Chain A
Amino acid sequence: MMNNRAAALLALVFLTALSLRFYDCMNPAYPHIDEALIGQAAVNYWHNGQFEPAHWEHPPLKQIIPYISLHFFGDNPYGWRVPTIFFGSIIAALTFLFALGTSGSQRTALFAGMLIATDPLHIMLSRHAFEEIYCSTFFLAAVVLLVWHKQRSSWLMLSAFCVGCAMATKWYYFPAWFLLILFALYENKNYRSPGSVIFISSAYLFIPLSVYTLVFYNWFGRGYTFTDFIEFVSNVFTSMQQYTLDNYQTGLVFISHLSAGEWFTSSIVVGDGHYFGNGTGQFILAGNNLPVWILTIPSIIVLLVIAARRKSLTLALPSLFFCGTYMMYLFVKRPAFLYSAAPLLPYAFAAIAYTVSHCAERYGIRFYYAALALTLTWNIYLYPLATHKTVNVTPYRFILKSKDIIIR
């Protein structure tokens, strides 16, 4: 599966993602959304073991990674954004490997990788230090290591370590974590060997729990013990379910859309920007890129049907991880903002890519290239709106008329 051509395509996907995220990343030079708090929260956690001004319900790896970055680059746009730019580029490469590992097709892998490399929302989140980028990269790394492990125990342990890092950033993948364990037990019929069952179960439970606990080292330094930790985690679990709109800043651009049910079915464009008066303007918009995203639910179903026909659990993985994570958003009582869709995108795009490749088998290779060209053209057209570039507003007027864009 992994030959020189695949390696070249992988490099192409990674470099595309990196270029689009890194280019002009100092723009805007001022903090956008939570970036104003990143430095203070990172320093406060590292030195005092406290979470403020961030939410205390969020695990602290999201403070530790920026702290390291701020140490090297300083409390400036590079310091805030370099980690998510890097992680956001890595995830494009991981999406390629995931799609390749599950479908066995380089075309599917290229399509999936390029979708995430050029997705305007993912680019916007990567360029503005959203921790969703960290956790989704860690979890996808865990999945990729599991898919590609070829009976290497060390890769499984590394995969479990990545699960721990994902959970130590945000809890998005709690249901998917258990899917991962079930898949690890199922593949190669590991469940038939008691030794393998004990090894896989202990690796995927104890390594993530150890990582999760150890990232709280600075918090423990305030005098807490493991008993206090259990009490704290119980409070986190309960408190997170009680979140309402009042817990968020009123100026947060995402608060106009609260339901995850909209993400893949209706158009969402939020963000802020300003007009210069000469027909140009600058914007940082976050949208669900509906022309592409609307293919998600049909593709998830198509992939599940094909996987069931072929009796291939590996092929069904994009759909299973998508459903496992998305269900949580759909049924949770608290608001679900659009940026929380980022952890779903690798699985959604892998499913879309597979469906397009499958259609190309029936309608010819031109269908595949046309779909790829069309998608990339559309995404590149939206790129300036997600990245604070000065744009002529006329070609974008149908997007900019959204009532959820705050003009400053």
Chain B
Amino acid sequence: MLKHKTAYTLAICILFICSMLFVSRHGENSRIFASGKNVHTIGVPEKAYYIWKESNVSGRTLILFDSYPHNMGLISYNGIPQLTKTNLIEYSIIKNIIRKIYLIVPEMEWNDFRRQKFIRPIREASDLAKGLYLYNQSGIPLIAVTPSTLPRIPEESLVYINKRLFKSDEALGLLEQNKISSDIVVIFEGVK
């Protein structure tokens, strides 16, 4: 006959609940937001990293109005990774600024995007009509969505808009429409 079953069962259930709460709280406490709402216009992509770094943000969701892929990993570098013109996203992941990405794909390009050979879908995002989890070396959730299926995000997000590919007014309008707030919006418009 097993002894102290009731007491042990209770202790196990409490342990389980406490574990979930403990790690969740640890995660939430690790997110760092910037004060106020800031909009920056930049000429080179890597400037975005310095803006985020100076604002001391960490553990954040990024809404990315840009193109894919962002699939380099640590193993792609010879030695310590350095920030370059092409690795802003990967570098910011390595530095733990970004923990999750919503990659916005224009509505008209969605079907073509899905057929691209350079993407490796992991699975459909079941809660979104057009949403696709994409494989990346770091394993962070990278979700491709169309503007119409971008979900409401219950936390302030970082926003990066490549003005060469997206109209910034439309992108900001989409965020407002979805009631998504952002503490830092970076608009890349290239060197004039």
Contacts and interface: CB of A to CB of B under 8 A. Distances in A.
- The answer to whether A and B interact is yes
Interface string B1-19: 1111110110011011001
A151 B1 CA distance: 6
Interface string B142-186: 000000000000000000000000000000000000000000000
A378 interface: no
Contact of B23 (A195, A229, A231): A229
Contacts of A199: 2, 5-6, 8-9
B130 interface: no
A223 B58 contact: yes
A235 B133 CA distance: 8
Contacts of A200: 2
Interface in B1-50: 1-6, 8-9, 12-13, 15-16, 19-20, 22-24, 26-28, 30-31
B59 interface: yes
A377 to B, nearest CB: 43
Contact of A153 (B3, B30, B94): B3
Contact of B100 (A48, A51, A228): A228
Given A222-B30, A223-B99, A229-B23, A52 B5 contact: no
A225 interface: yes
A402 interface: no
A236 B30 CA distance: 23
A151 B12 CA distance: 18
A223 B12 contact: no
Contact of B16 (A48, A153, A210): A210
Interface string A136-153: 000000000000000111
Interface stretch (A4-12, A201-209, A283-291): A201-209
A206 B13 contact: yes
Interface in A167-206: 190, 195-196, 198-200, 202-203, 206
A214 B24 CA distance: 10
B55 interface: no
Contact of A57 (B6, B96, B100, B139): B139
A50 B30 contact: no
B138 interface: yes
B74 A221 contact: no
A203 B26 CA distance: 25
A19 interface: no
Interface string A235-266: 11011001000000000000000000000000
Q: Is the interface of A mostly helix, strand, loop or mixed?
A: helix
Contacts of B6: 195, 199
A186 to B, nearest CB: 14
Contact of B24 (A210, A225, A242): A225
Given A206-B12, A231-B141, A226 B23 contact: yes
Given A53-B75, A232-B141, A225 B12 contact: no
Of all A-B residue pairs in the complex, the 8 with the closest CB atoms, nearest first, are A223-B59, A56-B139, A206-B16, A52-B74, A199-B5, A220-B27, A210-B19, A220-B23
Interface of B: 1-6, 8-9, 12-13, 15-16, 19-20, 22-24, 26-28, 30-31, 58-60, 73-75, 94, 96, 99-100, 120, 122-123, 133, 135, 137-139, 141
Given A151-B3, A152-B3, A223-B58, 16 more contacts: A53-B74, A153-B2, A156-B2, A195-B2, A195-B6, A199-B5, A202-B12, A202-B13, A203-B9, A206-B12, A220-B30, A222-B99, A224-B27, A228-B100, A232-B141, A242-B120
Interface of A: 40, 44, 48-53, 56-57, 151-153, 156-157, 190, 195-196, 198-200, 202-203, 206-207, 209-210, 213-214, 216-217, 220-229, 231-232, 234-236, 238-239, 242
